[in-house]
Amino acid sequence: MAHQRAQSMSTTEVAKEPHAVSLKVLRLTRPSLAIQYPLPHPSPTSTLAQSIPRAASLTYPSAPSSPFALSPLLTLPPAFGNAYVGETFSCTLCANNELPTDTPRVHSVKIEAEMKTPSLTTTLPVSFASSAPSSPSSDPLSQSGTPHSDLAPAASLQGIITCHLREEGPHVLAVTVSYSETTSTSGRVRSFRKLYQFVARPALVVRTKIGTVDGGWALEAQLENVGEEALVLEGVRLDTKSWFRARNLESLWDGEKSEHGEKGEKAKVVVGRGGVQQVCFVVDKVGEPDEVGEGGKVFMGVLNISWRGPMGNMGELSTGWLGLKLKS
């Protein structure tokens, strides 16, 4: 019994031994414009006008005095924020060597990541910054290279992951770090795994209704902004099967180029928080469907919506296949 108890204590001590490598995970998001609260103009004879300088209400002292609430100063989000379906979720993963400077290096450092959604688990490729100098026009998120597997004391290995959020509900980002640690007597391979959970919420709720019109069908779509911020709709497009043709009743939403080859400025519509935008398509039959279901039901097409957030972050959403019933 005494021997078994000693073995158990030894195993517990090894399990609690701190790792030589730590992991830091930071979500990458776009900044927002800082909000300032300008002071009202008091009476010149008021003691308040002499005691409080107007610069005290500005985001920074040298800012021009303006009653507008938004300032040109950018600020980073203080918390994780919201994750919306249709947007791209990005994170930076940083493995840091926490050993003192007089210890050997940590070898074969490897970072792996996967995203668990309500329906599946996907392995995410980790993109490491290229060692070669980048051009001003290049995108640092698209660069990839072979990371240095050896980490000197106080050195770091940093990578970036991106994941397009396609379904709502709980998501779990699982990050595994493995490395080889060299001691005075031997070497060993160690690893640890951390989980980061968040919830993906819908930014837009799409409701569709199909009715019949002379010689065809009419598809009505209602887009409701259920997010926390205003959205700029860039296009609503109906991609149909080859035996159907769709025409948008409002040219603002067709997503097609004009005669001059450019999109008009009116193609962008702002939908505020809780706002609703409606769009309608007329669908005509131009051929015979390859497959017809029971009761004359066929797949007609897919509705694609694209938008941008307040600071330009992109979002895309596609509905499932929309069906209709052929006229007898």
**The pLDDT value given to residue 272:** 92
Select from 21, 11, 168, 15 the least CA-distant residue to 85: 168
- DSSP-derived letter for residue 4 is H
Confidence band (pLDDT; 50, 70, 90) for 287?
confident
Q: Is the pTM of this model over 0.85?
A: no
Residue type, 188: R
Beta bridge partners of 115: 122, 173
Give the residue extent of every domain in the chain.
Answer: 19-29+79-133+141-202, 204-325
Q: What is the pLDDT averaged over residues 106-123?
A: 94
Q: What is the pLDDT of residue 148?
A: 56
Query: What phi-psi label fits residue 57: left (phi over 0), alpha (psi between -120 and 50 degrees) or beta?
Result: alpha
Q: Does residue 203 register a pLDDT over 50?
A: yes
Beta-bridge mates of residue 21: 97
Q: Is it the case that residue 321 has pLDDT exceeding 60? A: yes
Q: Among candidates 227, 110, 122, which has minimal Cα distance to 171?
A: 122
Phi first, then psi, for residue 251 (nearest 5°) are -65, -15
Pick the more confident residue, 158 or 62: 158
If pLDDT is split at 50, 70 and 90, which confidence band does 119 have?
very high
pLDDT of 10 above 50: no
User: What are the two backbone dihedrals, phi and then psi, of residue 267, each rounded to the nearest 5 degrees?
Assistant: -75, 0
pLDDT tens for 53-105 read 666 666 666 656 666 777 778 888 878 888 999 999 999 999 999 888 877 77
Mean pLDDT over 162-170 rounds to 95
Q: Which fold has domain 19-29+79-133+141-202?
A: Immunoglobulin-like (2.60.40)
Q: Class assignment of domain 204-325?
A: mainly beta
Q: Could you tell me the two tokens for 314? A: 């992109």
Mean pLDDT of 279-285: 90
pLDDT confidence of residue 206? 95
Q: pLDDT-based confidence at 294, cuts 50/70/90?
A: confident
List phi, psi (to 5°) of 226.
Answer: -105, 10
**CB–CB of 218/282 below 8 Å?**
yes
Q: Where are the alpha helices (DSSP H) in 173-214?
A: none
